Every structure is written in C-alpha cells, then in structure tokens.
Chains A and B, each alone.
Chain A
Amino acid sequence: MIAVKLWGRFLRSTGLRATDVLAIVAFAFATAAALLVGGGILAFWNRTLADPSDYVSNNTAVLSLVAGALLLPAIWTLSQSAVRLAITRRDARLAALRLVGATRGQVAGMTVLDTLLQTVSGVVLGIGLYYALVPAVSLLPFGGAAFAGQELLLPIGYVGLVVAAVLSIALVSAISSLVAVSLSPLGVAQRTKGAKPNLIRIALLVVVAGVWIAVTQFAGLVPANFMTEQGWMIFMLVMMTMMGVAIAVIGPLVVWFIAFLFAAGARSAQTLIAARTILDDPRSSFNTVGPLALGVMAGGLASLASMFNGVEDGDQMLTDLTIGAMLTVAIAGVLGAVFAGVSQSARILDRGDAFRSQHLMGMETGVLVSSTMRGAVIPVATLIGTSVAGTLLLMLPFMGFLAGNATPVLVWLGIVVAAVALIMLATWISTLLLPRVTRVA
C-alpha cells in the first residue's frame, strides 16, 4: 500500500519523461504488430474453415502461422526493451528510496506499477494504431481478393487476449529484469550477462544441431506419400522454428565476433567506440536486426516462388506466399526500427554523463553521432548483408527463370532497403538527443 502511495506521489511530481514516452511508443508498436499479425492469422483460418477443401487457403493459413512465429521474437524483444527502459532509468530514485528505508519489495512494487502504467498507455495507443492500419493492410490481395475490412479486425475477446498477452510479457519481463538488477541503497546495478561463448550456449547449439540432423534424417526415411500436405507444412514449421532458435542462439555470438574484429582493427575513435558498445551488449544489436535478417531470408526465398507461377493450381498460393513474405519483412523492419530508436535513445540517456564529459574534454558531438550511427551500421550491414547475399546465392541457379518475372525479387530487395533505411533513420533520430545530453548548464 505504501508503495502505491509513494508511486502516485512520484508520478504527480515528475510527470512524463522522455524515457516514459519511449517505453510507451515501444509498447504501442508491439501491441499494434501483435494485433495485426493476430488479425491476419485469424482471417486466413476463417477462410480455411469456410471452405476446408480449398487447397490454397489451407496452406496460406499454415504459412500465416509461420509468419507469426517469425515476428513473435521481434514483438517479445520490443516489449522487453520497453520494460528495461522503465527500470534502468530510475536508478537514482530507486537507490534513494532504498537509502531512506524502503524495502526491496516496495521499490520493486513501484517499478512494476510504473511498467504497468506505461504498458497500459502503450497498449491503448497500440490498439488505436491497429485500427488505423487495418484499412491499409486490407488492401493487400490474398486469395485473389483484398480482405474485407472486418476480416482483419479481431473480435473484442481476441483483442483482450492479445492485450493480456502483452501485459503478461511486460509483467514477466519486469519481474525477470528486477531479478537481474541489484537494488541496494548504494545504487542500482545491472547484472549484465555478456554473449561471449560459454559452455551452456555452445551445448545448446550442439543439441539444436543434433536434433536438426536427427529430424532431417528421419524425414528422409518417411515415404513421400505417407505424409499429408499439411503434415509437411507442420514439419516445415518445426524446422523453421528450430532454425529460428539456432539463429537466436548463435546470432549474438556472430554479432560479438564481428564487433570484436571491428574493435581490433578500429583506426578511428568513432569505430572503436561503436564496436566496443556492440561488444558490451551484442544481444541488443542482434535483437535490432536478427528478426529482420530471418524475415529477409524467408522473404527472399518466398519471392523466388513466383517463378513457379503458371504451374497448375499453385499460382494463387505462390502469389499469397510472396505478398505474405513481403509483409512479414516490412513488419519486421518497422519493429526493428522502433527497437533501434528506443534502445539507442535509452543508451544515449543512460550514458549522458559520460558523453557530456567526453564533449567537455573536446570530443565533438558529431563524433558521438557518428559512433552511434556506426554502432547501428555494423550489425545491419553484416547480418542483413549476409542474409541478402546468402539468399541471392540460393537464387543464383534460378536467375534464368527469374529473368522473365523479376518483379517479386526487386520488390523484396526494395522492401529490404526500405527496412534498413528505416532502422538507420530511427537510429539517427535517437542521436538528436546528443546535443541535449552534452549541453552544459
């Protein structure tokens, strides 16, 4: 009860701060994305249920689950970053409260209340954003026809479920983040865990690789006519999920290794600071671009499907596959951009004192801007670049077929470029905070 009273008093006295706005924006985009993806999946399944014999809608419904699975990590990551923002920016206040005798439970309770308020505000905005975006998304033609507006609108009960899911993510994340934070009277310290190679991570990777090999071997033994089409789809879903887990496990390590190379070879202060910042928290860099890299690869391969157009009755499904994949890449790009903006802004605000000192000692604000931008470019260029290059390599044998209809591939490349540009734009917008944090008096 005391925690609630104190929380209310602090809320009235401090009002809304920049970090609160960032957290609310992150929750709003996470909610809107979750609702849009949920609405899309429900629409596809409703079409399937209306005509269970429709081959195209059956497969599209399963593929919509794949797209949802691809976007889930991005939504989860964004929600978690919002929670961390809510906690780490309250260092001084939390430590002061502990110093004057507040218990760890009371301080933790206030933090959870803060997070809940931000989550609810973000969720309300997110629901508004979702309703605003539905008309635009419904213009995309799936199954040969655009969606009717109400097809993508989730029933109120489902909206409640999504809201409950986002709130649960926020609560679970808040509690787990509080466990990772030492709230002592002397200050708040983040018990950070690096992403350097460790035995557990490597063991997990070995297990995933082992299961992958076993499953693929098993799949080879199954007679082709034994599995139904939907069975193969589910099999593919499992395989893609495992691929996602593998990428999530090794992704931060790859980012760490690349940043290590950049740090070792850095000739300028900007590159050195950027690489060291990534090495400090490679998971954060990976979270910005990881889901997008995965989406880029899936989208590229899906765009390849267009070359089979004109073969029997698969035309419509392949068209749907291509459009769905592009939509997935676009949503992953937007979520990546929001995450980049939120995490970089939080970093700049967190490092405010150090950046101000650097500026006082003669480091131009432009150098800090440049190092922040390089911190975004290094993982984007390497992960997205590798993803695009790898996909293009896979496409190489089919280039002859694509010559006649290269539009889907060009659209895919265009969306990738736009997504990367959006991430860089969001990062640049975060650097507008730098003159504010380096200002003296």
Chain B
Amino acid sequence: MNDFQTSAQPQPAAAHPAYGNPSPAQQNAGPVQNPLVADTADIQHMPRVTPSALQARGLELYYGKGGASTHALRGVDFAVGQHGPEAVAVMGPSGSGKSSLLHVLAGILTPNNGSVMWRDEDIAMMKDGARTRLRRSDFGFVFQSGQLLPELSAAENVMIPMLLAKTPRAQAQRRAQGMLHALGLGGMFDKRPGQLSGGQAQRVAIARALVTGPGLVFADEPTGALDQATGASVLQLLTHQTLSRGASLVVVTHDPAVARACTRTVRLEDGIIVSDARHDQQPVGAAR
C-alpha cells in the first residue's frame, strides 16, 4: 500500500469572490475554496484546494423498469481522496458499469440505493438543481470529446464556468488566459475548437475543468480519441495539473497505459468492484 502524498502541503485560503458563493457543501466543509490567481505569472504557483474525500457506500443503479431492467451497479463501495490527492483509474470491460459509477459519483445520475458523501453532504439526496450547481462549483470534467462549445474561442470556453458563477468578465478572461498559458496554449486564446488539434482541444478542456479550482476531477476516456503520444502527453498534463492543485482525479478508461499513470486502479465487472489496488510507482504529478 502506497498512500500517495503530494510534495507540498495544502494551502487553505478564504473563499474568493470570483468563484461566486460557495456551495452549501463547501460552506459546511470549512475553508475549502482555493482561488486560482488572476494573472499569468502567478498561475504556476496557484494555491491548492484543501483535499476533500468523496465516499460512496452501497451504490445500486438500475436502468429501465421491470423485467427489462439492467442492474448497472450492485452495491458498490468506493472512496477517493481519503489520504490526500490521488488519481484513480476505473477499468473494466464494456458494460461493466464504469461510466455509470462515474455519473453517480459526480451527481449526474441518482442511485436507486446508497449514498455519495462529499463535504458532509449526501449528493444522492440532493435535488437536481443543487447537484447541477455542485458539479459546477466543486467538480471538474474532462470527456473524450464534445465538451467545448464550437462557437466559442478557447479562452471563452474556459471562461464559461466562471461567468456562470458571476465572475466579472475581465477577471474571468485573465484567469482563462492564465490557465491556457500554463497548459502551453499561450497563443491559442482566440482559436475555436475546430481550429485546434485533438490534443490542444483536450488541453483546453483540462483548463476548463480546473479553472474553478475543483476538489475532484472526473475524466471519461480523456485520451480515447487521441493517438498514443498525444494521449500520453495529455494524460501527463491532466494528472500533474490536477494533483499539484491538491485535487483528486477519477479516470474511466479502457487503456492500461492510462491506468499505469494513475496512483490506484479499481476494476469493475458486472457492476461490482473486483479489485482495488494502489500502484508502487509515483504518479506523474507527484514528481514535481
């Protein structure tokens, strides 16, 4: 067992007005907001979020009703971030319940049974509107594709979650540009998703996921549409940027290379966790 610890200790910070009002869960959890700095120079030394643990117990999920229903999750217990920031790969064959688990943990789907505790609140008991706001304020998401609005520029796509949180535009723009710069997209602010390569688009998605300082990032096959070299580079960036900010990462993947880059691998089969192992090697993000 190798409990992963990042090299620097968490830096609690007061809630920053740029992120809007903290969610109820954040208010209950104390000083969890950790604002990103406003300009490019400081973006490399961003304060990190206080680690938060997500704990799910007895998750049951059915699709459909009656005899035609599918049992997607069968009493799953799962925890992430209990011993500090970590990167967890969720693997398993198609139809094993990987994406269902991610959707339930992130509050996208409500389980039929079980609880998902995050910052002292049960996400499974929240109403739809509260879960949507929680996803925006506390979590980040990276999907295989389609998370960028094609009409908006790279910087505007990254600005969207901040504008939704009522951040003033100028401030949102500075932060978005700073984040893109930190991810190596300094000259791409005005490019639209259609003008970016697959790897560049995924880096914009990572910037969008991290710009609000989430406590937990969910990624669903983030490198699935990329070639091997680009995928490795994107994954390195995703794990490093997430863990170095004190957040944890849950990655659903088919790719063993992705799993190897994480600190822990959970395997699902037929809606049941069949193995949960920590890796001996240090994760990509811990080297810094």
Query: A280 near B: Cβ within 8 Å?
Result: yes
Q: Which listed residue (A277, A357, A363, A364) contacts B143, Cβ 8 A? A: A357
Chain A residue nearest to B140 in the complex (CB): A361
Query: B136 near A: Cβ within 8 Å?
Result: yes
Asked if B139 and A362 make an inter-chain contact with CB atoms under 8 angstroms apart, the answer reads yes
Contact A269 to B143, CB < 8 A, known contacts A359-B132, A441-B103: no
Secondary structure class of chain A's binding surface, majority of residues: helix
Per-position binary interface string of chain A over residues 141-182, scored 1 when its CB falls under 8 Å from any chain B CB and 0 otherwise = 000000000000000000000000000000000000000000
Chain A residue nearest to B149 in the complex (CB): A354
Q: Which listed residue (A267, A276, A357, A364) contacts B169, Cβ 8 A? A: A267
Asked if A267 and B168 make an inter-chain contact with CB atoms under 8 angstroms apart, the answer reads yes
Per-position binary interface string of chain A over residues 216-244, scored 1 when its CB falls under 8 Å from any chain B CB and 0 otherwise = 00000000000000000000000000000
Asked if B168 and A273 make an inter-chain contact with CB atoms under 8 angstroms apart, the answer reads no
Q: Which of A353-391 contact B (CB under 8 A)?
A: 353-354, 356-364, 367
Q: Whole-angstrom distance from the CB of A307 to the nearest CB of chain B? A: 47
- Counting chain A residues whose Cβ lies within 8 A of the other chain, the interface size class is 20 to 34
Contact A360 to B141, CB < 8 A, known contacts A267-B169, A354-B146: yes
Chain B residue nearest to A268 in the complex (CB): B163
Query: B148 near A: Cβ within 8 Å?
Result: yes
Q: Whole-angstrom distance from the CB of B27 to the nearest CB of chain A? A: 17
Q: Which listed residue (B133, B147, B159) contacts A357, Cβ 8 A? A: B147
Asked if A363 and B150 make an inter-chain contact with CB atoms under 8 angstroms apart, the answer reads no
Asked if B149 and A361 make an inter-chain contact with CB atoms under 8 angstroms apart, the answer reads no
Asked if A272 and B163 make an inter-chain contact with CB atoms under 8 angstroms apart, the answer reads yes
Complex CA gap A15/B120 in Å reads 49
Complex interface: chain A residues within 8 A of B161 (CB): 361-362
Query: B86 near A: Cβ within 8 Å?
Result: no
Q: Which listed residue (B137, B151, B160) contacts A269, Cβ 8 A? A: B160
Query: A261 near B: Cβ within 8 Å?
Result: no
Asked if A441 and B109 make an inter-chain contact with CB atoms under 8 angstroms apart, the answer reads yes
Complex interface: chain A residues within 8 A of B152 (CB): 272-273, 276
Q: Interface on B for A, CB 8 Å cutoff? A: 63, 100, 103, 106, 108-109, 129, 132-137, 139-141, 143, 145-152, 156, 159-161, 163-164, 168-169, 208-209
* A–B pairs, 28, beta carbons within 8 Å: A266-B169, A267-B169, A269-B159, A272-B156, A273-B151, A280-B151, A351-B149, A351-B150, A354-B146, A354-B147, A356-B146, A357-B147, A358-B147, A360-B106, A360-B108, A360-B143, A361-B135, A361-B136, A361-B141, A361-B161, A362-B132, A362-B134, A362-B161, A364-B129, A367-B164, A440-B103, A440-B108, A441-B63
Q: Interface on A for B, CB 8 Å cutoff? A: 266-269, 272-273, 276-277, 279-280, 351, 353-354, 356-364, 367, 440-441
List 5 other contacts, CB 8 Å, given A358-B147, A361-B140: A272-B152, A273-B152, A280-B151, A361-B161, A361-B208
